[in-house]
Structure 1
Amino acid sequence: MAPKVLVSDKLSETAVQIFRDRGIEVDFEPTLGKDKDALAAKIGEYDGLAIRSATKVTDKILEAATNLKVVARAGIGTDNVDKVAASKAGVIVMNTPFGNMITTAEHAIAMMFAVARQIPEASASTHAGKWEKSKFMGVELTNKTLGVIGAGNIGGIVCDRALGLKMKVVAYDPFLSEEKADSMGVEKVELDELLARADFITLHVPLIDATRNILSRENLLKTKAGVRIINCARGGLVDEEALADLLKSGHVAGAAFDVFAEEPATENPLFNLPNVVCTPHLGAATTEAQENVALQVAEQMSDYLLTGAVQNALNMPSVTAEEAKVMGPWIKLAEHLGAFVGQMTDEPVKAVNILYDGVASEMNLKALDCAVIAGLMKPQTPDVNMVSAPVVAADRGIKTSTTTQAKGGTFDGYIKVTVVTENRERSIAGTVFSDGKPRFIQIKGINIDAEIGSHMLYTTNDDVPGIIGTLGKTMGENGVNIANFTLGRKETGGDAIALLYVDHRISDDVLTTLRDTGLFNSVSPLEFDV
């Protein structure tokens, strides 16, 4: 059955057609997102939801979205999506951070020019029939110092354009290395130094706890007298009341804002102040950018729903289409390994340690980690998936650690999962053979070669005669067909295990019969989603 997508905000017809061309059923209702009750009533039908800023994806909407797998925002900002609730619901949240980078960076440069030369006020004055040439004395950008807060994708483009204008650029970004700064031609500085040196300050960071009010009253007072401030990133990065006070006092010579703490902004402390340029969140508002993000969101959602490729996800590691093809069997193996220890563990898990060997160590480990945790959590939380599993595990205080190593054995690569509880550790390892099928290769330190089936039986026992016969006889007498039978032991007379792959779920009566023989230390049925 073809996946079904709802487009609840305005999106280009070209983007909608991409869904259809890819074989995805799509309903285009560009005004539905404004009606939360109507959206909640309908969202349960869909696998995917494509939005812009009008649709609010709240926890209530997600509760109603019983089939939803992915929400994708055409644009960067996802403030209108409850990402915590989405993660708990197992819904991937995507955005399109690259489609409007150029446009947003250009808008910041345009706003910088506008406030430097007081262009909007001069235009309004001239339209009014005045000729106030001496009133609008501006400043040049050449040789001025531009302070860029956030030198990522958009901030990096602003840096490049500013250097082309012969400005000196200083950048504050905790994630910017000295080497990267050198290659960009900018000077990496701490925030206080940027505030003290910059003639213009432009912000290009997301709104998170670490950046909220990054230009607070305290920090604004640290700025150079006559500074001009541009914000085309997110509302809430600047204390607008404090900035208004400093504009009135003359400490700040001008400001240009495209975003505001409260939007739509019908009133604001910055409005109607001299040399303050305001636009209604136009950063991405060009024909090219709107088309780019719309096409990108359609391609990303289609790729995920059809191939499992994850791009620009905010709550799950990205997996390219090429990675998805190669990693598919390894992701399934990781889930099976987690599911094995999850079904075998009946006490609270404290930690999960994952070892990646050989070719497995060169893959997308974050995605594999998520698959292991999803498999581990599923026996107790059936609705969990790769998106929600890390959140559920974190809520339960489970710590996850990852180790990699070069090829260290017979196999080209393998994954070993060790679960730690208060009283014990339990480990299992597996690999993917050349036929693309996952195999268990070690349990409790005992080497095996076990094919994985939907229904399995795991037993532990002392290495004594009669085990094979007892298992075979009991299964035969109860009509249980054995598809695969694997044995292993540490040494003669020591610990031994058996792993059976059978055609149907094993009944409680069969399990009781085996346990009553007294031959087995443990008898455990296992179920795997193969």
Structure 2
Amino acid sequence: MSAAPKVLISDALSPAAVQIFKDRGIDVDFRPELGKDKDKLAEIIGDYDGLAIRSATKVTPAILARAERLRVIGRAGIGVDNVDIPVATARGVIVMNTPFGNSITTAEHAIALMFALAREIPAADASTQAGKWEKNRFMGVEITGKTLGIIGCGNIGSIVAERGVGLRMKVIAYDPFLSPERALDLGVEKVELDELLPRADFITLHTPLTDKTRNVLSEANLAKTKAGVRIINCARGGLVDEAALRRALDGGHVAGAAFDVFVEEPANANPLFGHPNVVCTPHLGAATSEAQENVALQVAEQMSEYLLRGAIQNAVNFPSITAEEAPKLKPFIALAEKLGSFAGQLTETGITSIAITYEGTVAGLKTKALTASAIAGVLRPMLADVNVVSAPAVAKERGIVVEETIREAEGDYDALMTLSVTTERQTRAISGTVFAGGKPRILSIKDINVDAEFAPSMIYVTNEDRPGFIGRFASALGEAGVNIATFALGRDAPGGSAIALVEVDGPVPPQVLEAVKALPGVKQVKALSFT
């Protein structure tokens, strides 16, 4: 009889989570002090099959290198930025999170900070308890009738929206993935960012931190906001340029700010600290007994199911499939994710539907896992926390219609997958297959045949099919020191629309993209990244 799986809990989790492991027959060690002792953790991690953590434990490559037995890491909470996911994946370690366990708590904290900011409660409390009676000093503002601007209207943002509507606020939301139908259901008005900024009396952020959302409230965007705006951030540090916000506070353009998250945490010092119109809390968004209990119980159940039965739930680095299905599915999962990523990186407006067509042998595989991978690929460029398990639910909550079509092979390929993404402006389709050796390939984009492998760094160009374009394009890259590895071309007709898909050695500087964009006949230029 094989030994029972062994789990280490290296952060402060609810005792109920410990009991779940024990009730399921799993050997569990509760050592919350190890979360801040990386050397000791690395020393003993090799004895465990599972590691349950919160935010204090940093699962680094050095720790993973010592984790010979480790099969699963369970994060009680949403963010997994304290886990080196690529290294964990390379070592075959499943990384799970609990994406929905603390949504209500975080949303309520944002609403609480909004009230505290509107009525200057922290400063009034300190003044009163100091023996002062400064009734005329603290002149707040009403919430009712004000415009609440929500940046990011996903799971948490939608709860804030519903609370805002209940408070009789006018709620407007900027979220490229929010469908008009979902906005109508929530009772909010969907707007672009440039419209939200000058209209909102309060702005609250509820979006992940990605390359697209970093400093979404930059100095330039802060200047576009309504005079007297109040800003709340309970999402992620880095969404707001803190130094620029301090200048806007000092100048009086921004009336106040309430922050629960900061660029550097623990935040022992910060540009916002010390301003009389700023309220700060130490990352308390998920800090309620109910939320802590929910995520602890959820992660214990998920890890137990995986260690005892092989079931995978809420994994950020692997789909929900069995061990028997994995060998056949693996290359097509990679294809689905990359097709989705291709479309997602090119999408800048709201998505209304995603359609995937499976032809030939791929149609006989577990298409649910493939579709989840494709959806995750589409959404991940904007929503960093989305994974192959949560992606269908995230798409559904945002009103994105997902369709699957299965049919026999009709063309030259035994297996063909086509992904179509429809936005408020256009429909973009991309097809691909898996050749011998398991490598995914692109076969067509927008019905234009283009045969190319996915590569870490690529440039995608759409242009008018004119003589001399290739030479000018190659020269622009050469002059900038960008080396071309492969060059794939396609067109719909002589003199019509053409596509160039170029693999280059390393990331493409923005000025190079601008130089290519300036070439005659170029319609679109985009740097793409595939890992």
**What range describes the TM-score normalised by the shorter chain of this pair?**
0.5 to 0.7
> 1 CA distance for matches of 2:274 and 2:190?
35
Of 22, 25, 39, which residue of structure 1 is paired with 2:24? 22
Paired position in structure 2 for 1:378: none
Q: Distance in 2 between matches of 1:19 and 1:415?
A: 43
Q: Shift in Å at residue 406 of structure 1? A: 3.8
- Report matched runs for 1:428-447 at 5 Å: none
Q: Tell me if 1:420 matches 2:421.
A: no
* C-alpha distance 355-219 of structure 1, shift in aligned 2 (>3 A): farther
Cα deviation 1:327-373 (Å, max 9, x = unaligned): 665446547999xxxxxxxxxxxxxx98456664653225899xxxx
Give the equivalent residue in structure 1 for 2:12.
Answer: 10
Contact 2:409 2:415 in 1 (8 A): no
Please state whether the residue corresponding to 2:275 is helix, strand or coil.
Answer: coil
Distance 1:256 1:291 in 2: 26
Measured in 2, the distance between the counterparts of 1:270 and 1:176 equals 31
User: What amino acid does structure 1 have at the position aligned with 2:299?
Assistant: V
Instruction: Give, in angstroms, the shift of residue 66 of structure 1.
Output: 1.6
The match for 1:233 is: 235
Report whether the alignment pairs 1:216 with 2:231: no
Match runs of 1:19-168 below 5 Å: 19-168=21-170
Aligned equivalent of 2:285, options 283, 292, 309: 283
CA distance in 2, matches of 1:337, 1:199: 48
Q: Partners in 2 of 1:265 and 1:334 — Cα distance?
A: 44
1:363 aligns with 2:363: no
Give 5+ residue unaligned stretches, structure 1: 339-352, 370-386, 388-402, 426-530
Structure 1 partner of 2:182: 180
* C-alpha contact 1:357 1:404 (8 A) present in aligned 2: no
Counterparts of 1:267-278 in structure 2 under 5 Å? 267-278=269-280
CA displacement at 1:301 relative to structure 2: 0.9
CA distance in 2, matches of 1:421, 1:27: 46
Unaligned runs of 5+ in 2: 334-357, 375-387, 389-403, 418-432, 441-531
Alignment partner, residue 194 of structure 1: 196
8 Å CA contact 2:35, 2:58 repeated in 1: yes
> Which residue in 1 is equivalent to 2:506?
none
1:98 counterpart SS class: coil
- Select the residue among 243, 247, 250 that pairs with 1:248: 250
Residue 159 of structure 2 aligns to a residue in which SS? helix
Shift in Å at residue 312 of structure 1? 1.8
Q: State the alpha-carbon separation in 2 of the partners of residues 271 and 188 from structure 1.
A: 33
Shifted more, 277-286 versus 328-337: the winner is 328-337
- 3-state SS in 2 of match to 1:314: coil
Q: Is the Cα contact below 8 Å between 1:116 and 1:138 reproduced in 2?
A: yes
One-letter identity of the residue aligned with 2:204:
T
| CA distance in 2 between partners of 1:21 and 1:248 (Å) | 56
Which secondary structure state, in structure 2, belongs to the residue aligned with residue 294 of structure 1?
helix
Contact 2:36–2:57, Cα closer than 8 Å, also in 1: yes
Amino acid at match of 1:178: P
Paired amino acid for 1:64: R
Separation in structure 2 between the aligned mates of residue 308 and residue 367 of structure 1, nearest angstrom: 19
- Give secondary structure in 2 for the equivalent of 1:363: helix
What SS is found at the alignment partner of 1:234?
A: coil
Cα distance in 2 for partners of 1:25, 1:330 equals: 29
- Structure 2 distance, partners of 1:236, 1:335, is 35
User: CA 1:330/1:314 → structure 2, altered by over 3 Å: closer, same or farther?
Assistant: closer
1:66-101 CA-to-partner distances (Å, cap 9, x unmatched) read 221211111112221112222222222211121111
Give the Cα–Cα distance (whole angstroms) in 2 for the partners of residues 419 and 212 of structure 1: 35
Counterparts of 1:81 and 1:415, CA distance in 2: 35
2:347 alignment counterpart = none
Q: Distance in 2 between matches of 1:209 and 1:177?
A: 22
The answer to whether the 8 A contact 1:58-1:82 is kept is yes
In 1, are the aligned partners of 2:76 and 2:299 still within 8 Å (CA)?
A: yes
Q: Aligned partners of 2:201 and 2:416: how far apart in 1?
A: 55
Structure 1 pair 331–213 and aligned structure 2 pair: CA distance change class (3 A): same
- Kept in 2, the 8 Å contact 1:360–1:415? The answer is no
Question: What is the rounded CA distance, in whole Å, between the counterparts of 2:258 and 2:359 in structure 1?
Answer: 50
When structure 1 is superposed on structure 2, of 222-231 and 172-181 the one drifting more is 172-181
Task: For 1:368 and 1:104, locate their aligned partners in 2 and report how far apart those are by CA, in whole Å.
Answer: 28
Q: How big is each residue's C-alpha offset from its partner over 1:267-305, in whole Å with a ceiling of 9 and x where there is no partner?
A: 111111012111111111111111111111101111122
Distance 2:220 2:96 in 1: 35
Contact 2:215 2:239 in 1 (8 A): yes
CA contact (8 A) 2:150 2:204 kept: yes
Query: Greater shift after overlay, 303-312 or 46-55?
Result: 303-312
Q: In the aligned structure 1, how far is the partner of 2:409 from the partner of 2:284?
A: 55
Contact 1:68 1:91 in 2 (8 A): yes
Give the whole-Å Cα distance in 2 for the aligned partners of 1:364 and 1:185: 33
Paired with 1:215 and 1:113, the residues of 2 have a C-alpha distance of 21
Structure 2 distance, partners of 1:184, 1:354, is 38
Q: Offset at 1:307?
A: 2.1
> Equivalents in 1 of 2:292, 2:84: separation in Å?
23
Q: Which residue of 2 aligns with 1:170?
A: 172
SS of corresponding position for 2:274: coil
- State percent identity of aligned pairs: 66
Q: Is the 8 A contact 2:7 2:49 kept in 1?
A: yes
Q: What is the Cα deviation at residue 415 of structure 1?
A: 8.1
CA contact (8 A) 2:54 2:76 kept: yes
Distance 2:70 2:359 in 1: 30
2:510 is matched with: none
